[in-house]
A and B are shown apart, each in its own frame.
Chain A
Amino acid sequence: MNQNRPTLHRRDFLRGALITGIALPLAGSLASCAAGGGGTTSTGDTGSGASKSADNPFGVAAKSTVAASIFNGGYGTDYVDYAASVMAKQSLGVTASVSAITNIAQSLQPKFVAGNPPDLIDNSGANAIGISTIRSQLAELSDVLDADNYEGTKISDTLYTGVTAPGTLDGKFLVLNYVLTVYAVWYSAALFEENGWSVPKTWDEAYELGGKAKAKGKYLFVWGKEAATYYQTLAIASAIKEGGDEVRLSLENLESDCWSKPAVQSVFTAMKKIVDAGYFKPGGAGTQFTAAQAQWSNDEDALLYPSGSWIENEMKKQTKSGFEMTGAPEMVVSSSPSKPYEAMHSTAGEPFVVPSKGANAAGGKELLRAMLSKEAATNFTKTRLTPTIVKGIVPSDGFGSTALVSQSKLLEDAGSNVFSWNFVDLYGMNQDQLVVWNTFLSGKSSVAQLTKGLQDITDKVKNDDSVTKVTVS
């Protein structure tokens, strides 16, 4: 302890402290908004270095390099490296430098502003760029569909039907979604067989199954806080089966009563009955979603889980052995729905885009062409146990995956009754909807409150002039 007078005058120190106090938050809150200098480097041509031909449909320069920024998520990035090696073997000898990134928007935003984006982007993950934001800077990809693949077949003929729909904005095909996603209600075939349960086809059957699960000390459903809207996806699919395309279009076009349609309401009411009966495992609103999913796939606390087909890959390390993960179509409300029970909610995911200002945009398309070749698509499906949009790749044994086999069967049963919707992702509503759904699934809100909450979110987007709307018909 000391009695010397401090040589640094306290007043000066305080002044310094005040300035620091002001500067720190300013630096934090404002510096994040900083942009790079405005870029004016726009090369008029899209890097075409050679004339176009059947072997070189996009006129990519021989021996050129493609810069690809790939989202490093559940699927990793080495499947693009594989496709690049397939591309390099072709006569043009085009190579690719693939960079794995996780925060797409943060990493690429300065490049877009400066006008030198990469040639190919896998715009996926929690920090993907909103497509409507960069729409005007994307190259049309219809010529990729028209080109022949490396085996000599026109690419559009090798794809599943409807997979280009999610990437088509106002008639322009801008986004190529590479991975086929089948939405279903997933369960353990082994567990169901052991207990003599059958998969519920209607919400009433689901309610009954909930009672049987309860008798065994289990729950019907489980949810996690970041994935509460998986139940919205389930509800919308079920409502579309009940009410037909009218329901889908009403939601897609953000109509002012879209959540109040009888078909939607009947599904919400059926769900509310299950929530009130306590067939949802409590505490989901505070549970991290993969932890919740493990309660289903590993602990078998719950019987059913609605999700996309990525679930098998996502939970690979946390699935009980002998689980036999299998998918079933979403439940329907009545015995006479507008679309059959077997109708499927299926869409394509992992959105790949080619910025038109990229230095080698033609090369970006060439790499897409390589990814759509039979060789690269087979590699993806085999190593990720997930189908791509390329048809006829999955063998009958599904490379040993029950989930993959059941996906093929679901798609086969559905035939042409395949549907999907876009509005949730297109307008970035998921975050806001999560809040409403977590409350509902916790049993803390009524069907009317759920409906109002969702309608408010939809109306907010509809009434926001700064958001460009896409009309769906």
Chain B
Amino acid sequence: MTTLAPTAPTTGGPTRAARWRRKNLTVDKVSFAAVFLGVPLAVYLVLVVSPFLQAVGYSLTSWSGFDDSTPFVGLRNYVTAFNDDVFMTAVRNSVTLVVVLPIVIIAVAVALASLVTIGGASNGPVRGVKGAEFYRVLLFFPYIIPAIAVGIMWGQIYDPSNGLLNGVLTAVGLNDFDSYPWLGDARTAMPATMFVMIWASVGFYVVIFVAAIKALPAEVFEAARLDGAGRFRIATRITVPMMRANIRTSLIYTGIFALDAFVFMSALNAGGGPQNSTLVISQELFKTAFTKGQFGYACAMGVMLAAITLLFAGAVFLVDRLTGGGDDLQEE
């Protein structure tokens, strides 16, 4: 386990800087920079940055998408978006997703990761529950199935007449669920869809958190246990604070996952669901662009989606900072 190898202090700042001084630029270094910095940067500029700028430009036009005429209309597309009740429904649904999903996914993933790493027997070394390895593989399994396959599979499970879920529920005597449309009722469509998304992605974060917990010093857990801390207390007072950075990054990734959601939504309720209860921005954007032929307006929706994503990322960092997370941002 821990071999306390003397970690060579990374001293020699000046020496390192000197290495990169101009006169020392050899062909080797220049070609290294060109290949590993220049090429990715060029690709990034051409394939990522320029489409962003282009899309912002198009969002100010009434371009149909199928010709080369791009009449400038100023901010009209944005005004339309705010007065478009269907689009605003989509925004509300996306915001609901981005508020609920990251918290639930991270909470479930932390709980499961704790179980398979430190939730085991309280004698002997700190370890996970019996069969932890098996559960880890099992939990990761849904993540390796392509999202579209997950969506189609759950669409069948939720089928009102022949689906597995209603079959099980009616078999145990809950006859109210005979032919109940989980995805066809505005009250349950969103929760049912969220469940599928959680099911499909939680395994990935379990793996991340398991790795994070394993990287923490075992002595801390042993000491806490000797002091009489229970598993729940260890999880909430020791594991979570020590994994703060991992959790913060994971929150942002789950937020992005929740804001996209296109594949799951298309597979489960392509049309936006009952009373548009599962319509998300990316679906509305796609429909506006390709079915309605309003690429300018669709680009405006895309810019707004990007803005919401940035706001979310900003909010995560702000909350983190306000709750004292700034400390571990200090250089160690």
Option from B58, B271, B328, B331 in Cβ contact (under 8 Å) with A435? B271
Indicate if the CB atoms of A283 and B181 lie closer than 8 Å: yes
User: Could you say which of A9-17, A46-54, A194-202 contacts chain B?
Assistant: A9-17
Interface residues in A210-268 by Cβ distance below 8 A to B read 225-226
Given contacts A18-B317, A25-B260, A29-B305, contact A11 B331 (CB under 8 A): yes
Indicate if the CB atoms of A33 and B302 lie closer than 8 Å: yes
| C-alpha spacing A21/B2, complex, angstroms | 33
| Chain A residues in 8 Å Cβ range of B294 | 466
Indicate if the CB atoms of B214 and A1 lie closer than 8 Å: yes
Closest to A355 in B: B66
A285 proximal to B (CB < 8 A): yes
A109 proximal to B (CB < 8 A): yes
User: Could you say which of B128-136, B230-238, B285-293 contacts chain A?
Assistant: B285-293
A167 proximal to B (CB < 8 A): no
Indicate if the CB atoms of A33 and B51 lie closer than 8 Å: yes
User: Could you say which of A55-63, A126-134, A315-323, A396-404 contacts chain B?
Assistant: A126-134
Closest to A130 in B: B293
| Chain A residues in 8 Å Cβ range of B260 | 25, 28
| C-alpha spacing A11/B155, complex, angstroms | 42
| C-alpha spacing A143/B274, complex, angstroms | 46
Chain B interface extent, by class:
35 or more
Given contacts A22-B310, A439-B274, contact A133 B64 (CB under 8 A): yes
Closest to B273 in A: A435
Given contacts A3-B4, A284-B181, A285-B184, contact A112 B67 (CB under 8 A): yes
Option from A31, A129, A132 in Cβ contact (under 8 Å) with B55? A31
Given contacts A1-B217, A38-B68, A295-B161, contact A431 B331 (CB under 8 A): no
| C-alpha spacing A3/B62, complex, angstroms | 58
A139 proximal to B (CB < 8 A): no
A5 proximal to B (CB < 8 A): yes
Closest to A112 in B: B66
Closest to B59 in A: A33
Option from B65, B185, B270 in Cβ contact (under 8 Å) with A286? B185
| C-alpha spacing A18/B299, complex, angstroms | 24
CB distance from B132 to the nearest CB of A (A): 15
| C-alpha spacing A34/B158, complex, angstroms | 37
The 0/1 profile, CB within 8 Å of A marked 1, for residues 105-122 of chain B is: 000000000000000000
| Chain B residues in 8 Å Cβ range of A35 | 54, 58, 63, 65, 295
Indicate if the CB atoms of B181 and A286 lie closer than 8 Å: yes
Interface residues in B269-287 by Cβ distance below 8 A to A read 269-276, 281-282, 285-287
A269 proximal to B (CB < 8 A): no
Option from B159, B295, B331 in Cβ contact (under 8 Å) with A291? B159
How many chain-A residues does the 8 Å CB contact rule pick out? 68
| C-alpha spacing A25/B312, complex, angstroms | 11
Indicate if the CB atoms of B331 and A9 lie closer than 8 Å: yes
| C-alpha spacing A115/B295, complex, angstroms | 17
B93 proximal to A (CB < 8 A): no
| Chain B residues in 8 Å Cβ range of A13 | 245
Q: Which of B4, B216, B290 has the most CB of A within 10 A?
A: B290
Indicate if the CB atoms of B309 and A26 lie closer than 8 Å: yes
The 0/1 profile, CB within 8 Å of A marked 1, for residues 219-258 of chain B is: 0000000000000000000000000010011001100100
Indicate if the CB atoms of B66 and A1 lie closer than 8 Å: no
| C-alpha spacing A21/B252, complex, angstroms | 6
CB distance from A114 to the nearest CB of B (A): 8
| Chain B residues in 8 Å Cβ range of A127 | 290-291
CB distance from A35 to the nearest CB of B (A): 7
| C-alpha spacing A428/B216, complex, angstroms | 56
Indicate if the CB atoms of A286 and B256 lie closer than 8 Å: no
Closest to B189 in A: A286
| C-alpha spacing A388/B289, complex, angstroms | 32
Indicate if the CB atoms of B313 and A283 lie closer than 8 Å: no
Indicate if the CB atoms of B183 and A33 lie closer than 8 Å: no
Option from A24, A133, A284 in Cβ contact (under 8 Å) with B66? A133
CB distance from A33 to the nearest CB of B (A): 4
Interface residues in A85-107 by Cβ distance below 8 A to B read 105-106
Indicate if the CB atoms of A22 and B313 lie closer than 8 Å: yes
Option from B245, B274, B276, B302 in Cβ contact (under 8 Å) with A30? B302
| C-alpha spacing A35/B299, complex, angstroms | 11
Indicate if the CB atoms of B303 and A25 lie closer than 8 Å: no
Indicate if the CB atoms of A26 and B306 lie closer than 8 Å: yes
Option from A7, A27, A38, A435 in Cβ contact (under 8 Å) with B272? A435
Indicate if the CB atoms of B285 and A32 lie closer than 8 Å: yes
B27 proximal to A (CB < 8 A): no
Closest to A292 in B: B161
Indicate if the CB atoms of A4 and B274 lie closer than 8 Å: no
B259 proximal to A (CB < 8 A): yes
| Chain A residues in 8 Å Cβ range of B245 | 10, 13-14
CB distance from B319 to the nearest CB of A (A): 14
CB distance from B10 to the nearest CB of A (A): 7
| Chain B residues in 8 Å Cβ range of A27 | 48, 51
The 0/1 profile, CB within 8 Å of B marked 1, for residues 63-98 of chain A is: 000000000000000000000000000000000000
| Chain A residues in 8 Å Cβ range of B2 | 1-3
A335 proximal to B (CB < 8 A): no
B31 proximal to A (CB < 8 A): no
Given contacts A1-B2, A11-B331, A435-B275, contact A283 B55 (CB under 8 A): no
| Chain B residues in 8 Å Cβ range of A390 | none
Interface residues in A127-185 by Cβ distance below 8 A to B read 127-130, 132-134, 136-137
A369 proximal to B (CB < 8 A): no
| Chain B residues in 8 Å Cβ range of A39 | 68
Given contacts A283-B180, A466-B62, contact A25 B259 (CB under 8 A): yes
| C-alpha spacing A5/B6, complex, angstroms | 11
The 0/1 profile, CB within 8 Å of B marked 1, for residues 274-292 of chain A is: 0000000111111110010
| C-alpha spacing A466/B294, complex, angstroms | 9
B104 proximal to A (CB < 8 A): no
Option from A129, A225, A428, A432 in Cβ contact (under 8 Å) with B184? A225
A438 proximal to B (CB < 8 A): yes
| Chain B residues in 8 Å Cβ range of A466 | 62, 294
Option from A17, A33, A283 in Cβ contact (under 8 Å) with B289? A33
A113 proximal to B (CB < 8 A): yes
Closest to B293 in A: A133
CB distance from A151 to the nearest CB of B (A): 37
Indicate if the CB atoms of A2 and B215 lie closer than 8 Å: yes
A40 proximal to B (CB < 8 A): yes
Indicate if the CB atoms of A431 and B48 lie closer than 8 Å: no
Beyond A10-B329, A112-B67, list 19 extra A-B contacts (CB 8 Å). A9-B332, A11-B329, A14-B329, A17-B252, A18-B313, A22-B309, A31-B48, A130-B291, A133-B66, A225-B184, A282-B160, A283-B181, A284-B184, A286-B158, A287-B181, A291-B161, A431-B271, A439-B186, A442-B274
3 residue pairs, one from A and one from B, having the closest CB atoms = A283-B160, A286-B181, A285-B184
27 interchain pairs (CB within 8 A)?
A1-B218, A2-B215, A11-B329, A18-B317, A22-B310, A22-B313, A29-B282, A29-B306, A30-B303, A31-B55, A32-B289, A33-B54, A33-B295, A34-B54, A112-B67, A134-B67, A282-B160, A283-B160, A283-B179, A285-B183, A285-B185, A287-B159, A287-B160, A295-B161, A428-B291, A431-B272, A435-B273
